[in-house]
Amino acid sequence: MSRDRRVVVTGLSAVSPAGVGAEALWRAARDGQSFGARVSGFDVSANRSQIAAEVPALDWLALGLDREDLARLDRVDHFSLVAARGALLDAGLERFEPHRAGVVIGTAVGGVGFMEQEFRRVCRRQDKDKPSWVAVDPVSVNGHLYSAFLAHSVSSEVARRVGFEGPCFTVATGCTAGLDALGAAAELIACGLADVMITGGADAPVTPIVLTAFDNINCLTRRNDDPGRASRPFDRDRDGFLLAEGCGVLVLEEEEHARRRGARTYGSVLGFASLSNAFHMTSLPAEGTELARTLDRLFERSRVSPDQVDYINAHGSSTKQNDRNETAAFKLTFGARAKRIPISSTKSVLGHSLGAASALESVVCFRALAEGMVPPTANYENPSADCDLDYVPNQPREARLRVIECNASGFSGIHSAALFGHPDFRPGKRRGFLANASGTPSPRSSEAA
């Protein structure tokens, strides 16, 4: 086995507020067309945040699902099935060794919608105000509940339908899950345990309990009267993230495997790193130190220097804390260059779809490489004192893109980051992303801050 198996991207697809497919997603991201509307599927009148960016009504049967899928799986599985099939079609992958092909998709909350709906049907109202133990009717519970709720199904249902027989599981790290899944999938290929992986992230969290859970810790936007401008990362008036849903899927392939079949490649996965901040379950420090440490580790683990990064697709969740933390981290890792690297947040367009977000953003990054175009941060109107970098306000920008850095932060103090390269980009001779970090000199930008 070659020690240096490179990982390329050969297929992209998505289900997002922009509709189905990577093209619709890219157009929305490029044009800075921000989604968001009042939640209509359930009563939100008692919530402080009442808006979300939802996937529009789709004809699932026309998209290849059957009535059984609709009856016995959760919406999140519908997303992953449609996006995975789209990405495979895009990759043109028809012949493959089944046991060398796997599926690792990320999710934050999995099939919570199905579970919650069923809970309301079978849970009895008690005299008690808030019981420690609920009382349910176990006899009438829906027979498909186990697999519909199980987060594993987000990946295993895809594997089952497309006939991939290699490694399969769901990464469930919350808001970094999409990028974490991509990292795991890339490394399964790099270390020789697979040749092809379907990866990405999927979430359908616009449900009463999930909206409330985030609302009650004050991390959602309350700009209910102006949903289209509610997600405004790095802007002075940002007030929390816009809950969203969707799924981004990428087909990763070992470079030689892709080359042999003459596949078109969107680019390569140059590196992945992830660390914990041990700071707080939901909060972030202002100084960006831990995220910067993750970015430093990313460069240590790849053959790329911070000086080669042409564009940063930020987490940019539109919360006060995240955008400040992220800005500080970019300054630490990229030094004076931080002010000159275009940075944008796709969440300004799509909202924050939890585990799906960084996967959708990864899809956008590979389209950006192909188009030579930096997508903007939408709704950016007023500079914020603690966010003073170039966020590519509202208009896309043509640029020669060779290397993109994409990162995500989430609950439990997880920071994850990846590097994506243009098909023409050849990394240097330094250690590859199989290599250990220890002993490598500091990879921070050569320019002083």
Partner 1 sequence: MSRRRVVVTGLGPIAPCGIGKEAFWRASLEARSHIGRIRRFDPTGYRCQVAGQVEGFEARDWLDVKTRNQTDRSVHMAFACCEMAVADAGLDLDGEDATQVGMYFANQFGGMEFAEPELYAQAYLGPQRVSAYQAIAWFYAAAQGQWSIARGILGFGKTLVGDRAGGIMALAMGSLAIRQGHAQVVLAGGFEAPVVPYVWAIHQTSGLLSEHRQSPEKAYRPFDAERSGLVLGEGSAILVLEERDRALARGARIYGEVLGYALGQEPVASPLGLASASRLAATLRAGVAEARIEPEEIDHVLAEGLGTPESDGEEIAALEQVFGALPRRPSVSAPKSMIGHTLAAAGAIDVAWAALMLEQGVVLPTVQLDRPADPSRLDFVTGAPRDDPPENVLCLSRASGGGVACLVLGRGKE
Catalytic positions, please? 175, 315, 352
- How far apart are alpha carbons 146 and 329 in whole angstroms? 41
Residues 6+ apart with CB under 8 A from 177: 106, 107, 108, 171, 201, 203, 354, 355, 358, 410
Q: Pick between residue 2 and residue 385 the one whose CB is nearest to partner 1.
A: 2
Nearest CB to partner 1, comparing residues 25 and 115: 115
Cβ(350)–Cβ(35) below 8 Å? yes
3-class SS string, 236-290: CCCCCECEECEEEEEEEEEHHHHHHCCCCCCEEEEEEEEEECCCCCCCCCCCCHH
For residue 24, the SS3 value is: helix
SS3 168: strand
Closest separation in Å from C-beta 101 to partner 1: 9
Among candidate residues 237, 224, 221, the one with its CA nearest the CA of residue 381? 237
Task: Identify the burial level of 428 via C-beta atoms within 10 angstroms of its C-beta, where 0-12 means exposed, 13-18 middle and 19 or more buried.
Answer: exposed
Give yes or no for a contact between 81 and 69, defined as CB atoms under 8 angstroms apart: yes
Q: Which of 296, 278, 344 is nearest to 30 (CA)?
A: 344
Of residues 35 and 164, the one with the C-beta less far from partner 1: 164
Alpha-carbon span 27 to 375, nearest angstrom: 9
Closer by beta carbon to partner 1, 376 or else 410: 410
Q: Which is nearer to partner 1, 91 or 168 (CB)?
A: 168
Instruction: State which residue, 302 or 344, has the beta carbon closest to partner 1.
Output: 302
What tokens appear for 71 in the block? 């009856």
Least Å from the CB of residue 146 to partner 1: 4
Element (H, E) at 37: strand 37-38
395 CB neighbour count, 10 Å cutoff: 14
Nearer to partner 1, 29 or 417 (CB): 417
Cβ atoms of residues 296 and 202 within 8 Å: no
**Is 202 in a helix, a strand, or coil?**
strand
C-alpha–C-alpha distance, residues 48 and 46, integer Å: 7
